[in-house]
Amino acid sequence: MTAQSSGSSLPVDFMIVDTMIVTMDAQRRIITDGALAVTGNVIVAVGKSADLGRDYRARTVIDGRRFVITPGLVNTHVHITGEPLTKSLVLDDTGFEENVFQWLVPIHMAYTEADERLSAQFAALEMLRSGTTSFLEAGTIRFLDPVVDGLTEIGIRGRVGQWAWDFSPEDQSYPSAATDAAVALLSDELGRYPAKEGQRIAAWPILIGHMTCSGELWQAAKELADQHAVGVAAHMSPVQADPDWYLHKHGRRPVEYLADLGAIGANTIFTHGVHFNDDEVGLLAGVGGNISHCATSALKGAYGATAVGRFPEMQARGINVTIGTDGNNNSNYHDLMRATYLLAGLFKDARRDPTLFPAEQALECATLNGAKALQMADQIGSIEVGKKADFVAHDTYRPEWRPLFNVANQLVWSADGRGVHSVWVDGVRIIDDYRCTTIDEDRIYAEVQSAGEAIVARSGLPIKSRWPVV
């Protein structure tokens, strides 16, 4: 089963041997007594341990008997700035409008440059510790350069970009100066952080979306994405307010309006889409577009994902369904395994149909589909020869991992990110025995607490509790 075999043994940097590998390759092979070999940042062989042991000579051999190896997970919507340092500040009886305008906007404005860098690293740490190796940012609030610096230091793979918009809901005019500035911002960051080979962190045009962008800005963002061979991301229709506004303002629903503008395509990813109707699902499917389903925010924000969300229909009609974990005040964690569990379960229950989103399909959403949405299907999302050495070692010496009979079932229905023992990105073991090797976790936890308290103080917002704190 080795992809490369020759008469003499070839040197490689390291091998993991005697393990179980969930490859996510074209045949979806699960290899027992498996091995994989890495040189530099690339997987050079995957197969049976006996074969690789004969064909390859590794400088380091890792005993994998304790592990199940999967591809690194791909989180397609995560707010790495603006919320991680104030996680769980907002109570869980807060509606969408109050959450955004009374809580999140003042918090976002209270973050300093140093806060955004720390926040990005902290979000990346939580993702890595729970098995996510690549992510698509929801949009840096203000300070992209220190964010990229912090992400580069920790070593995660990601696509980032500063939030762009050109009018606010209060001011529904279309100021051309604001549009020009927003387009210039997008163009400039794409030039600074190009998605060329070898760049772990690169920029995308990322719009806030909703009702914050003019048609000109939507079109410009799509054109820039096409020119730079990247994607374009935006929030849309978590609640009924977006379709209502587009119907009132443009006489069409959001996806209809954007399709008429030529502003959506196979490189478009919408976050939420809970209130897309059948016509919008058809339009997005027609262009081969992507959706980031953030079940965790729908649950806490009462969006109606299971009541009105057409996610099973999106999957059936060929929209690329992916999974995100959104922001820390309407979805308070970035463990994509927990979010994958929700995708697998919510629609089974809501539709009383156990065939919806089987475990294997949910795992595809968390890996291959995410890779495709990030425009990186040829580089990540599976454990195959030639792909980046981004993978996760799940620790089976834990109660939720034993006994082990069906590994797809185990990954989705039993395990979660707590069992992630080790994580490699670009061939570097960034998590080793549950600890980050690139940054000092204890320092981060202390800094996050003090920075979070300072942000809350500057924002003027209260720290609420329904129970007396004595």
Residue 383, both tokens: 């454990």
Stretch of residues binding Zn ion (CB under 5 A), selected from 36-44, 151-159, 171-179, 324-332: 324-332
Which residue's Cβ has the minimum distance to Zn ion? 138
Distance of CA 280 to the CA centre of its chain: 23
Residue 53, both tokens: 């042991």
Closest approach, Cβ 186 to Zn ion, in A, equals 18
- Complex with Zn ion: residue 138 or 264, whichever CB lies closer: 138
With CB under 5 A as the rule, give the number of residues binding Zn ion.
2
Separation between Cα atoms, residue 360 and residue 337, nearest integer Å? 13
**Best CA proximity match to 289, nearest among 261, 323, 255:** 255
- Give DSSP secondary structure letters for 104-127: IHHHHHH--HHHHHHHHHHHHHHH
Closest approach, Cβ 80 to Zn ion, in A, equals 11
Q: How many other β-carbons are positioned within 10 Å of the β-carbon of residue 91?
A: 12
- Complex with Zn ion: residue 118 or 207, whichever CB lies closer: 207
Closest approach, Cβ 293 to Zn ion, in A, equals 12
121 vs 161, 423, 440, CA distance in Å? Answer: 15, 16, 11
- Complex with Zn ion: residue 138 or 420, whichever CB lies closer: 138
Beta strands 10-22; 56-63: pairing state: parallel
Closest approach, Cβ 352 to Zn ion, in A, equals 30
The enclosing H or E element of 352 equals none
Q: How many other β-carbons are positioned within 10 Å of the β-carbon of residue 108?
A: 21
Specify burial of residue 103 (Cβ count, 10 A radius: 0-12, 13-18, 19+): buried
Stretch of residues binding Zn ion (CB under 5 A), selected from 57-65, 129-137, 206-214, 323-331: 323-331
Stretch of residues binding Zn ion (CB under 5 A), selected from 204-212, 306-314, 322-330, 382-390: 322-330
Closest approach, Cβ 197 to Zn ion, in A, equals 29
- Complex with Zn ion: residue 332 or 438, whichever CB lies closer: 332
Closest approach, Cβ 351 to Zn ion, in A, equals 26
- Complex with Zn ion: residue 326 or 364, whichever CB lies closer: 326
- Complex with Zn ion: residue 80 or 415, whichever CB lies closer: 80
Residue 167: phi, psi to the nearest 5?
A: -160, 155
In the range 121-180, which residues lie near Zn ion by CB under 5 A? 138
Closest approach, Cβ 456 to Zn ion, in A, equals 21
31 vs 34, 70, 409, CA distance in Å? Answer: 5, 11, 16
Provide the strand spans (E) within 90-183.
132-137, 157-160
Alpha helix (H) ranges present in 193-294? 215-227, 241-250, 254-260, 278-286
- Complex with Zn ion: residue 16 or 217, whichever CB lies closer: 217
Closest approach, Cβ 443 to Zn ion, in A, equals 28
Closest approach, Cβ 153 to Zn ion, in A, equals 24
Determine, following the binding rule CB under 5 A, whether residue 280 of this chain makes contact with Zn ion.
Answer: no
- Complex with Zn ion: residue 126 or 326, whichever CB lies closer: 326
- Complex with Zn ion: residue 208 or 439, whichever CB lies closer: 208
- Residue 107 and residue 90 in contact, taking contact as beta carbons nearer than 8 Å: no
Sole binder of Zn ion in the list 18, 326, 395, 416 (CB under 5 A): 326
- β-strand partners of 407: none
Provide the binding-site residues for Zn ion, judged by CB under 5 A.
Answer: 138, 326
